[in-house]
Structure 1
């Protein structure tokens, strides 16, 4: 067929310069408009125009330049007016066709469920039309045996269904004058048979490599009626796709042999993305401005872009980023997701508190400036943050409101009517000297609820959802500085594009559930990536892998060149067995692998310096492309050693010295006046650094509302219930003493109170789980009362002297007055006159060593032997306050009431000996706490304590 002009260039050649040479040699500037150039993508045209202008030293009207797709559409538009519809409209059309022919009916239950399948089917249909595969070809294959194995009936059904869909789908598109990419390629291959493009004297096709069957047919037709020039790059003996083209056109695509090894190649083995970007930083910082203009950083993985942009050295003034950043990662999308979650989880008029708190903690919400209020913008921003902080504190129960605190679901009206909340907000604002009227506070909360909650309740169609989206985004644009962040601005623009597309859908007015609408929106968001604009001809170029086609750079830096990333291979069709495609001549995985290898080799062979950066770990290995270059170098050098390989890992040193915090004079002074408790001393025994975080810095874990029962809440509930229930036996002035007795009447009142309190507190907190929580708690409490009655009889309990009693005192330790406070759960008086201090436990019960003995006082020995100072300190304070020497104490487990732990009875040592050792140990611990030379240090001897510690992340 060789009746066209063609040239073969080496992979290292600069194809753009070669084409410029060809044009300048054959055409005058005035004739440029008679030349048509077709590149694989859009970016080479910009570089071509720049280089042509530089060569001519003037601005000129360049030749007409197309990308392949633009040229295809140009041909089709000569016959038909092109009207494209969105992909999602195409998927909906497929859905209606499938419903009509009643196929794949068991694969999906609604259009929303069908969407992922729709994209798969659409992709496969487009593959068929691009490769000129007729439905009958697939049908014929089902009648044969493949490799001696008969085709299963299920596969035959799928192929038949696909064939039916293919015919109906493309017939409908042609009838409605709608177009897809595949249909345009098919039409272009047909229309080109008689097409003479008289407006062009020459059509130059640049470096075709893999060509669809429709493309091959189109080029063949163009050659018959037009003057066509093709520039090939590479040798057909090295590349199967070039061999296929050569065989099709009956030509020889061969070039002079060239080295398969880049000129200067450097290998960087790194541990992770952070060390990878650090490598890029170190490479770039040594390049001057002119060198940066000729440098590209290639990012096969979009995820690396954000970290890289934040790691560019100061000498990089100009850069152009062209790679896809996932839209779903933006904070605006995160806000929209929370809005959707709130609507989907709403029960009647009550919103899930967890998502409500998530909403008011979003940084975009915190920075809203509610306009129209008689307050300065600076003050309103500060006030907004305080208002939302106060709402969070009340919802979490830090400031108690019976109606809205610690409830899993909350009503907007209850929030807006909460006197406790408004009093708390007013108090906090006054502390910050912000004078804002209660009416204005109410207005802020009302606007917030209207814009982010109430308007969304009316969403029943895609169009209504789009209206709410526009309203929300416009509100953020008008009342915040969201547009000042480049990423936010790009994200908002892209979201408006998605909204415009969705509200013009043919089914935008159809009623759907909120869940379906929101899921549908996020399917679109998940498929969307942002592209950032910049100067494509100046500064550092940061490009996706395929953006480098036909471009040459002096310095090429390729990141993430790992197996699975480059080449990135995936089997696209999940509908039809892959073997069916191979039988009709399409081996997609083989094609993709060669295509990516071709562009990779062309890029690195044309560069002066190549930097290949890959992650090596247990999960990741270097790309096969890198392995091939390394092997070629080793063969050439006849040595397995490699000179230009660098292992870039962050130095790791084992933590030999434990984390510690030194005590300042102010801290020591604070500790001298601090009011200690048994819990505080026990915390120091667990870990001195934890004591520092909790009692010196006053840090506490952020309270979060969850669906799971939490120990602290359960413990507080049970303590309160037991106090109220046992009050009837309490010895108080004016009341006759009543001996404790757990009879049927007591149990009836006890569980009546339990039901009442549970329903008013924990039930609204746990909602669906409340039934199970109540049942478990009731089981343990029934068990507790049973064993409590036995214990009362066994210990011969005469009276209950006190319940939930608070005490404070000063203790003289090493000539220092130390403040202590206590909270005693209960004290029983026994028949023999002795007293028993009881401390209820709903969790872990610490116990002293039975062979209690400390030869040498040290932190470690004390911790090992004593475990907890709680019971000894309680014994001491009760002896002093009630003037009784015969006092014992016990931990009483609600979960295991049959195993109470008695301080003196369960220890072999005498009481006096125990108390002496305890007070010597207490003096030692207090002295250590107050000693400025001993820092607060990390105790890691018991790793299980570290795992459950609230401050574990501060120690890393």
Structure 2
């Protein structure tokens, strides 16, 4: 008979007065199982006894226990009282949590605080002592002073709690152990299924047993109890001795005698373990599932497991819960705090571009946004990237009243007002909860669980926090929600049971599926967080690493009490040291238990996630399929630019990803002003200065009947005006915050931009002064398009080309098409030669020839004639003008005609299935294929 039915039978046969009986159990889940077992044992509904966990039972005597956060804050106030130069809260927390844990251990194990602290100080003095008897350093003195003050920390914290009429839960155990329990309770108490007990717990139970008011029911097996060195029986053997249990007749003899089939599955991939579990569950009947448990030694597998439970599992109770840290809440909280961190970092009311992008991509924002609102946010994202807006005012971002309200709430500065901070976070929760569509139940549950987790923290904050930084507040805030879980629903006693190893206490199952059975997960290898050295802990009788392993050993071996079938998986994928090894408990079963129990059958398997066969493609090479060739034809049906063809020339594989697969430009916002943006500022400044004198505006409307010539006086005015125009470009870039380019790299960029603009205007002034012809501006930053016909596969194809031209002007009657470049330009970049042994011009070998030739063709479409000159002006070398020309003095007419043939050649090459798209190893600017 399983343990819980035996406990129910003990209660039934003991003729207890159920109304006065209290049953104390190790877990909440055990309480639910015992309730169900009592109904079965008594043959129907009953007035059940009071059933509590041991913490709940102790708190019935001491309901004034203080929560952990308030205790930590009180200790910080003690720290400020004791220390002349108290640490910041975030530094204090690093050791304070360990100190509180040690204070708890002192109480739970009934130690004399002064003796513990004296022993600890003696050890620290020995560590600081040197054999040469030199005087200890100031650092060593400060180090020792801390240990000397520990008794004062303990005493003053106790005093503060007494004044508040509060008590720690550990102190509650100590106090209860010191009470005359007959005065507290004369009613019977049953303690069932306990393993490791603290000194205080042992004393309490022993007193009650001696008074005749208590029973202690042991959940153990002779296999590990009779072996005096077996770690699984360590604590129960100790309990039997200390509680003076002369006849612990609850010890069974199942593990060494009953049949057990064990299947150990090694999984090279961590998630493969979930697939093993799903396959095993799929083979079970509904009746078999009723006595099956999936136990997660590695609790990070819970999300994957939930998604892979097979359809034949009609009922499942998953009380482990999905940690909130594995839901969209984690990203949402990080976004909230990152916005506040960047507000302090940049000292601006504007929102940082990365924070704005993060906000608009949050699941909670997208789920409440309509299609219209999503499109508005997409436009803002595009605008932010294309205009390189590092900062933007949230109030100027007009999305919709609903999204604007959420954005303004999340971007309002806290200014170290933590009451405002927690109120604002909860206000955000309410805004999202109210706007969540009914179809988003998972997200709604995430928000409700999160809000519930921080509600108690709000009360603590409102009571008052010590002075702390944003970093400290964030750390404190995380403590109140990061351990919360999203509960899965299910019947607590029916159907498949899914749980962590700690929840298995007292529970028995015929079929076990244990996932993550690796060394480091079971048993865990987490170190004990303590300020007390391990050798001193051992001497004082405080829990050690070995004790901790003994606890987990019992958790595992008691699962074998009633088990008939066990599937255990472990992963051989290494994460941490030792984590790729299977657990020692599996090795113990194979080496020790098999020799004792001949009915134990162990089978080993290897599992790998099936991988679909894929064709082996050499890295950096893509063969052309009919689909890809069709994409090429589609590309040439659109208006093409010189830059797209140049991309193909530079690296055909990068062209494929960018223009055929259409990954798009990798739009990023520059945080420091880079070359492209730097040149754009100067370019825009020149546009603003020259625009009043242009014949046509950007929309093609004629602005002057007679275009005014550019004179020396006009340029002098430009020289006087340009610093403010340029400054406005920078201010717009930084969303109105001019402090962001007053220092550092951005200040240097502003200074260099002024110098380059001035040199350009001075060079322009020299040109006007020394020219015998007038200079007039035709167009600035204007769109040009044209088309021409080529022959592809014996079929006429119309090719459309288009682009923006920076400037068209006239010197006398001669037209010039000008492109500004912010980088260095050489004569070789614009001088085109012929291919070797051919009359064809080699556009591939001349960096800017293709672009300038396209400009010439597009100009001809608009003006009816070819330009007299197509040139580049380098902003970095403003006196340098670089006109398109041929090495053999080819005319613009010949160059522009030949460029049509070059496009035909490129088109034919792209659809040639014998020529692969390949990565050019010498290409420096590939975005996608490197």
Q: How high is the TM-score relative to the length of structure 2?
A: 0.77
Choose which of 198, 201, 205 in structure 2 pairs with 1:212: 198
Task: Quote the residue 1:647 is aligned against.
Answer: 607
Question: After alignment, is 222-231 or 478-487 more displaced?
Answer: 478-487
Task: Quote the residue 2:482 is aligned against.
Answer: 526
CA distance in 2, matches of 1:268, 1:503: 49
CA distance in 2, matches of 1:21, 1:761: 78
1:273-672 alignment, distance < 5 Å: 273-331=270-328, 334-335=331-332, 338=335, 342=339, 350-352=350-352, 354-356=354-356, 358-368=358-368, 382=370, 385-387=371-373, 389-390=375-376, 393-394=379-380, 397=383, 406=389, 408-410=391-393, 412=395, 414-415=396-397, 460=417, 462=419, 467-468=423-424, 471-481=427-437, 485-486=441-442, 488-489=444-445, 491-493=447-449, 495-496=451-452, 498-503=454-459, 507-508=463-464, 520-604=476-560, 606-620=562-576, 621-622=578-579, 626-630=583-587, 632-633=589-590, 643-651=603-611, 656-657=616-617, 658=622, 663=627, 671=635
CA distance in 1, matches of 2:604, 2:385: 63
CA distance in 2, matches of 1:228, 1:943: 81
Task: Quote the residue 1:758 is aligned against.
Answer: 730
CA contact (8 A) 2:406 2:428 kept: no
Q: CA deviation at 1:546?
A: 0.3
Q: CA distance change for structure 1 residues 143 and 643 in 2, over 3 Å: closer, same or farther?
A: closer
CA contact (8 A) 1:841 1:891 kept: no
C-alpha distance after superposition, 1:495-533 (max 9, x if no partner): 235324532667249998888766643442234344444
Task: Quote the residue 2:58 is aligned against.
Answer: 72
Question: After alignment, is 253-262 or 526-535 more displaced?
Answer: 253-262
C-alpha distance after superposition, 1:347-397 (max 9, x if no partner): 6765556545544554444555xxxxxxxxxxxx74xx4246436635753
Choose which of 84, 87, 90 in structure 2 pairs with 1:107: 87
Matched, 1:811 2:788: yes
Q: CA distance change for structure 1 residues 880 and 43 in 2, over 3 Å: closer, same or farther?
A: closer
C-alpha distance after superposition, 1:44-77 (max 9, x if no partner): 2322332343355433445554423234335xx2
CA contact (8 A) 2:66 2:167 kept: yes
CA distance in 1, matches of 2:466, 2:87: 22
Q: CA distance change for structure 1 residues 870 and 448 in 2, over 3 Å: closer, same or farther?
A: same
CA distance in 1, matches of 2:531, 2:41: 52
CA contact (8 A) 1:556 1:611 kept: yes
CA distance in 1, matches of 2:267, 2:198: 38
Q: CA deviation at 1:480?
A: 3.3
Choose which of 948, 951, 954 in structure 1 pairs with 2:927: 948
Q: CA deviation at 1:143?
A: 5.9
Task: Quote the residue 1:40 is aligned against.
Answer: 26
Choose which of 257, 261, 264 in structure 1 pairs with 2:261: 264
Unaligned residue ranges in structure 2 (runs of 5+): 130-139, 596-600, 696-703
CA distance in 2, matches of 1:275, 1:913: 65
Q: CA deviation at 1:692?
A: 6.7
Choose which of 721, 724, 728 in structure 1 pairs with 2:685: 721
Q: CA deviation at 1:130?
A: 0.9
CA distance in 2, matches of 1:192, 1:852: 107
CA contact (8 A) 2:202 2:243 kept: no
CA distance in 2, matches of 1:664, 1:249: 80
Matched, 1:138 2:102: no
CA contact (8 A) 1:269 1:616 kept: yes
What's the secondary structure of 1:582's corresponding residue? helix
Q: CA distance change for structure 1 residues 844 and 300 in 2, over 3 Å: closer, same or farther?
A: farther
Q: CA distance change for structure 1 residues 901 and 574 in 2, over 3 Å: closer, same or farther?
A: farther
CA contact (8 A) 1:857 1:924 kept: no
What's the secondary structure of 1:526's corresponding residue? coil
CA distance in 2, matches of 1:662, 1:466: 59
CA distance in 1, matches of 2:548, 2:327: 31
Task: Quote the residue 2:3 is aligned against.
Answer: 15
1:113-132 alignment, distance < 5 Å: 114-115=92-93, 117-132=95-110
Question: After alignment, is 127-136 or 815-824 more displaced?
Answer: 815-824
Unaligned residue ranges in structure 1 (runs of 5+): 1-12, 369-380, 416-420, 426-440
What's the secondary structure of 2:616's corresponding residue? coil
Question: After alignment, is 695-704 or 756-765 more displaced?
Answer: 695-704
Matched, 1:166 2:154: yes
Task: Quote the residue 2:700 is aligned against.
Answer: none
CA contact (8 A) 1:36 1:65 kept: yes
CA contact (8 A) 1:367 1:480 kept: yes
Q: How high is the TM-score relative to the length of structure 1?
A: 0.76
CA contact (8 A) 1:687 1:939 kept: yes
Task: Quote the residue 1:27 is aligned against.
Answer: 14
C-alpha distance after superposition, 1:73-103 (max 9, x if no partner): 35xx2xxx52233222222222222222237
CA contact (8 A) 2:649 2:844 kept: yes
CA distance in 1, matches of 2:888, 2:254: 90
State how many pairs are aligned: 877
Task: Quote the residue 2:748 is aligned against.
Answer: 775
Question: After alignment, is 63-72 or 391-400 more displaced?
Answer: 391-400
CA contact (8 A) 1:158 1:575 kept: no
Q: CA deviation at 1:609?
A: 2.2
Matched, 1:185 2:173: yes
Q: CA distance change for structure 1 residues 853 and 554 in 2, over 3 Å: closer, same or farther?
A: farther
Q: CA distance change for structure 1 residues 182 and 308 in 2, over 3 Å: closer, same or farther?
A: same
What's the secondary structure of 2:116's corresponding residue? helix
CA distance in 2, matches of 1:538, 1:698: 52
CA contact (8 A) 2:450 2:481 kept: no
Q: CA deviation at 1:169?
A: 2.2
Q: CA distance change for structure 1 residues 192 and 908 in 2, over 3 Å: closer, same or farther?
A: farther
C-alpha distance after superposition, 1:720-772 (max 9, x if no partner): 33455678999999568779999999766655543354345457378525653
CA contact (8 A) 2:789 2:798 kept: yes
Task: Quote the residue 2:230 is aligned against.
Answer: 238
CA contact (8 A) 2:832 2:886 kept: no
Q: CA deviation at 1:535?
A: 1.3
What's the secondary structure of 2:492's corresponding residue? coil
Q: CA deviation at 1:458?
A: 10
Task: Quote the residue 2:137 is aligned against.
Answer: none
CA contact (8 A) 1:261 1:629 kept: no
What's the secondary structure of 1:617's corresponding residue? coil
Q: CA deviation at 1:820?
A: 2.0
CA contact (8 A) 1:322 1:543 kept: yes
Q: CA deviation at 1:192?
A: 4.9
Q: CA deviation at 1:538?
A: 1.0
CA distance in 2, matches of 1:348, 1:910: 56
Q: CA distance change for structure 1 residues 830 and 173 in 2, over 3 Å: closer, same or farther?
A: closer
What's the secondary structure of 2:491's corresponding residue? coil
Q: CA distance change for structure 1 residues 184 and 706 in 2, over 3 Å: closer, same or farther?
A: farther
Q: CA distance change for structure 1 residues 558 and 679 in 2, over 3 Å: closer, same or farther?
A: same
